[in-house]
Amino acid sequence: MALVETIVVAYDDPESGTLSRAAELAEAFGASLVVTNVVPPDHDEGAEAERYGRKRLEQARTFLESRGVTAEVVRSVGQPAEAILALAREREADLIVVGMRKKGFIERLVEGSVAQNVLRRAPCDVLVVH
């Protein structure tokens, strides 16, 4: 049995390296890769957020195909940490890969970080990519 069979990666920023790291790990372990982008639910800019999320997922698919990596692409709606954790539980993930964004002090104080929330509550190992 493989050490890591399923990897869930939260993808938002093409510059972050998160998707690249997840693809490397999926290839190394022979694991299945599940890519998600989380769109906030009730949002005044809902249609714009939806387009942004779909664009990010298409970028992820194109990037992975260029590397010969097959992945399931899942659009998620909700609060980012909650949606990532729910998907990881649903897919029985062995590893979650998330990026760490730089936030200001007030932002971190008020809302915390997605990576921190995922780390604290994940049902499996978590890799945070800086």
Domain assignment present for 78: yes
Domain assignment present for 1: no
Domain assignment present for 54: yes
**Domain housing 110:** 6-129
Q: What is the pLDDT of residues 23-59, one digit of tens each?
A: 999 999 999 999 999 987 765 556 777 788 888 899 9
H or E, element range at 10: strand 6-10
pLDDT at 124 over 80: yes
Domain assignment present for 102: yes
Q: Give 21's contacts (C-beta < 8 A, 6+ positions apart).
A: 97, 127, 129
Q: Is residue 83 very low, low, confident or very high in pLDDT (cuts 50, 70, 90)? A: very high
Domain assignment present for 84: yes
- Got the DSSP string for 93-127? -SEEEEE-----HHHHHHH--HHHHHHHH-SSEEE
The total domain count for the chain is 1
CB 99 within 8 A of CB 60: no
What CATH number is associated with residue 19?
A: 3.40.50.620
- pLDDT of 43: 56
Q: Poorest-confidence range of 79-83, 92-96, 105-109, 125-129?
A: 105-109
